[in-house]
Amino acid sequence: MQLSQSVAVERHEEPGLGVVGAIWIDNPPVNALSQHVREGLAAAVPAVADDSEMQAAVLVCRGRTFIAGADIREFGKPRLPPDTNEVRRMIEKSPKPFVAAIHGTALGGGLEMAMACHFRVADRNARLGLPEVKLGILPGGGGTQRLPRLVGVPRALEMITSGEHITAAEALDLGLIDAVAGSEGEGGLEAGAFRFALRAVAEGRGLPRVRDIESHRAVVRENPGIFDEFRRRIARRTRGFNAPEICIQCVEAAAALPFDEGLAREAELSRTLHADPQSRAQRYYFFAERAARKIPDVPADTPVRDIRRVGVLGAGTMGGGISMAFANAGFPVSLIEQNRDALDRGLATVRSNYERSAARGRFTADQVEERMALLDGGTDQDALAECDLVVEAVFEDMELKKRVFGQLDRIARPGALLATNTSYLDVNEIGGVTGRPEDVVGMHFFSPANIMKLVEVVRGEKSAPDAIATAMSISRAIGKVPALVGVCHGFVGNRMLFQRRLQADRLVLEGALPWDIDRVLYDFGMPMGPFRMSDLAGLDVGWSAETSSSSTLREMLCERDRRGQKTGRGYYVYDTTTRAAAPDPEVMDLARALAGRLGIEQREIGDEEILNRCLLSSVNEGAKILEEGIALRASDIDVIWINGYGWPVYRGGPMFWADEFGLDRIVDVLDDYAVRFDAEQWQAAPLLRETAAAGGRLSG
């Protein structure tokens, strides 16, 4: 019986057990809770109830997944009836038991629908979760009220505020599901769920409703401070975000209020978050990341090259991290260094990184050994002939990289993808030394490459479409977020970062304190400011004692062996035991001396000017990058900054933030700075000025 465009009910008889109503949802690609799905489900409940032969109902989905959540195409639009919560109430009040048969993923509204059913059965490979917090919203379909009742308050708090997914086995242990189907040869999920439903009827298990569970309140009575303790524990990872705190308040309501009052509180707080600018920013980013996959002249069906083995040339910090990223995804890696000592150091660092992760519980000892076994270290570049992708990660020197690519051209097999990890240099010049520039791309990983998610995929003027498609695809395969960029010095991220750093250094010479600049950017939401970051990376990276001339504050610090955290002093001075950073007046003494030599008059500088100069200089450069076609779209720039530089996702990225700040306001500030400071430096990009005049947005 077809009840709507996407929902049908079928009678299914299990010999010796009875008849079940199979409610099939077929709404590809992810069976989202679109209006026609809700409409069909609302009709299915009475259809099953009115059929005298059907003893139970099983909610089951066609395709690759259970209900994966709300229909994102309906975000921000008026909701057409029926309301999803009304559908859940109908299921919950059904006179016959409803069983959710979960495969693929049950996320957000999908899991909330499953929790409204009387029983839940999952395929062993299913994953379940409430990821709404990642969009700056909360599970507003009863998720914050039902999950604590099923899994307990502590685990519900963790799942809801992190948005994490859990496996079917974990869900069974927690009590979120009632059975894993097919685990005992029952013939798969559907057959197992049908039998489970009919056995539940035969065994007289009734109509257990999650809303009626009260046991979750006990842990709060025994530990009244549980919520404040949890707030303290997650404070660091949720700094600046609004949604996690609101989610906690919803779970508090679940523990303190009757179910319907808790639902009302959830609905009230859900409306608050939907109107929150942070949610708008996080939802924007959700679509921005997906848009970054689309390249107009490289269609989605462009064939990709088969990558089975990866070569990494260079076992230093970047090469080791890149090797780990591929090994973590199961790829065999040939890691090549120029001599055995350098190779041994690199492999030892990789093992040390894995063992530290294992000590923190991220890997088991066996998983460490499995990953190390995928790394085949050597000093003979001929081993790279067996690789389908070779990533060069040698020192950032053009002549060295050209020499390496000339060698790779002779060694690598035909059709192998040759990628440079350069962060600044011209990919066209590097590829030009080969006889196959169509196979050459940039894959700019960010340090530490085994952790940071961004890869800037750099398209050379002769890079083949399938080479670009492969670089994008393999980046996603190893859990990265790729964004396509064109060739220019620094590409997108570092080119914009350079402008911010230029202003930060200039502000110090004009009288701002380095720690004040760091504080302002940290309070904005960045993980750390530019001077703390420099100390962490090492001030002597790229510095040479032979050529140093005290012409910059960084040179003056390095000349005094203040090279950052590793020497105990840099822009800050560091406690030898805790590594805690403290301001050091000597740094400002040096800055004042340098400013005097350069004829720069120092003054007091407020937080607003610090923030504007650091951010607007980057935004202006981003507009120039768009004008030049280095980035395809403003949202790609935002993806780069969120995943590569720690820009807070709740501010949407620098270009989205600029639109929210107001492009006309930005142009006014830039014009003011052009008069007060450097006219050329602060000249507003034509695209920025034109878009502001038209009342438009850079980010769409």
Q: What is the CA angle 493-498-500, rounded to 5? A: 100
Q: Can you tell me the distance from the alpha carbon of 135 to that of 54, in angstroms, rounded to the nearest whole number? A: 40
Burial status of residue 376 (CB atoms within 10 A of its CB: 0-12, 13-18, 19 or more): middle
Spatial CA neighbour of 421 closest among 548, 328, 320, 522:
320
Give, in order, the Cα–Cα distances in Å from 374 to each of 334, 388, 457: 8, 15, 25
Which H or E element spans position 546?
Answer: none
Sheet holding 417-420, edge to edge: 375-378, 333-336, 310-313, 389-392, 417-420, 440-445, 454-458, 481-485
Give, in order, the Cα–Cα distances in Å from 15 to each of 19, 96, 188, 197, 528: 9, 20, 17, 13, 65
- Asked if the bond preceding 448 is cis, omega within 30° of 0, the reply is yes
Spatial CA neighbour of 106 closest among 116, 92, 94:
116
Whether 423 contacts 417, CB under 8 Å: no
Q: Can you tell me the distance from the alpha carbon of 171 to that of 165, in angstroms, rounded to the nearest whole number? A: 10
Whether 682 contacts 673, CB under 8 Å: yes
Give, in order, the Cα–Cα distances in Å from 101 to each of 27, 213, 216, 423, 467: 16, 22, 25, 48, 41
Q: Cβ of 40: how many Cβ atoms within 10 Å?
A: 26
Question: For tokens 């005298």, what's the residue?
Answer: 52
Q: Using only C-alpha atoms, what is the Rg of the chain?
A: 29
Catalytic center residues: 112, 132
Burial status of residue 697 (CB atoms within 10 A of its CB: 0-12, 13-18, 19 or more): middle
Give, in order, the Cα–Cα distances in Å from 346 to each of 351, 352, 540: 9, 10, 21
CA 422, distance to chain mean position in Å, is: 23
Tell me the H-state helices in 163-188. Answer: 168-174
